[in-house]
Structure 1
Amino acid sequence: MRTTKDRIRHTLGFEIVGLIIFVPLASWLFGFDIHAIGLIAVAGSIIATGWNYFYNLLFDHSMVKLRGNVHKTVPIRLLHAFLFEGGLLLLFLPMIAWYLGISLWQAFMMDITMATFYVVYAFFYNLSYDKVFPIPENHLATQFNH
């Protein structure tokens, strides 16, 4: 399992890289001022940062209980990404509608677009992160034997 320091690096990297990619793309796609989209994205990032940390911690603990390890196959990565984004959708929808002065339906469509982006992004970010920062095998064995 990952250390707290590693989880913080993972979370901050995920949010920073995501914002750099998402804000200009969303401003162009949705036709809102980059500052409005930027504020929504930063607020969402703050919410997502807390959610990301706790969600990944719970997900890994669940994997250890169910599978005995935290190795994530492609299907598990897909499940991981969809469950994460589904939780954010429920948290984020009312804020988007209120701040942008749009209907819940418009906010839902915007949120689905954002969630789709982040599902794809999360899959590739996490896959890349595991390659760049692999979990040492001996760390896995010693952490769960205590």
Structure 2
Amino acid sequence: MRLVDHLIERSPYERIFHAVMYEVVGIITSAPIIALFSGKNLSESGIIALIVSIVATIWNYVYNYLYDKLRKQYHFRKSAAVRVIHGAGFEVGLVFISVPIISLTMGLTLWDAFKLEFAMLLYFFPYTIVYNWIYDKIKSYAIARLV
């Protein structure tokens, strides 16, 4: 199997590892941001970060599974433009899923929940791109050492 095939193919276990690590760092770093923009205390913000994290983890798995299928079928490289499109697609989908959840759990209007989600998007959009880039670099390095 070629190195590029190793980078495209992801086992269910690797998908879970990738998503969980992404969310662990996301929870730790987003709770203070949620507290700042919502006026809620850190513990309430941590709970909403955890809830949205669970939703995002499920979405991450589904989204990246579909993305990998497209990538395998069309053989496109992870260029900077593709990484931006990939990150944008993930975040747009997550907004549609998470805004109602944030509204219900934090007692916010849909508009206020959307504004909070937008603030989080300003953080998570570059975080998503950087996280996946670093993940791919580490994986590529590890595979190159094993092959």
State the TM-score, normalized to the length of structure 1: 0.85
Aligned to 1:17: 25
Aligned to 2:85: 79
Aligned to 1:125: 131
AA partner of residue 35 (structure 1)? S
Aligned to 2:3: none
1:61 corresponds to 2:83: no
Size of the aligned set, in residue pairs, is: 135
CA contact (8 A) 2:34 2:116 kept: no
* Identity percentage of aligned residues: 33
CA contact (8 A) 2:100 2:110 kept: yes
AA partner of residue 18 (structure 1)? G
State the TM-score, normalized to the length of structure 2: 0.84
Moved segments of 4+, more than 4 Å: none
Q: CA offset at residue 136 of structure 1?
A: 4.4
Aligned to 2:42: 34
Structure 1: how far apart are the matches of 2:61 and 2:107? 30
Q: CA offset at residue 86 of structure 1?
A: 0.6
* Pairwise CA RMSD: 1.6
CA contact (8 A) 2:19 2:60 kept: yes
1:43 corresponds to 2:43: no
Where does structure 2 lack aligned partners over 5 or more consecutive residues? 1-8
Structure 1: how far apart are the matches of 2:38 and 2:107? 14
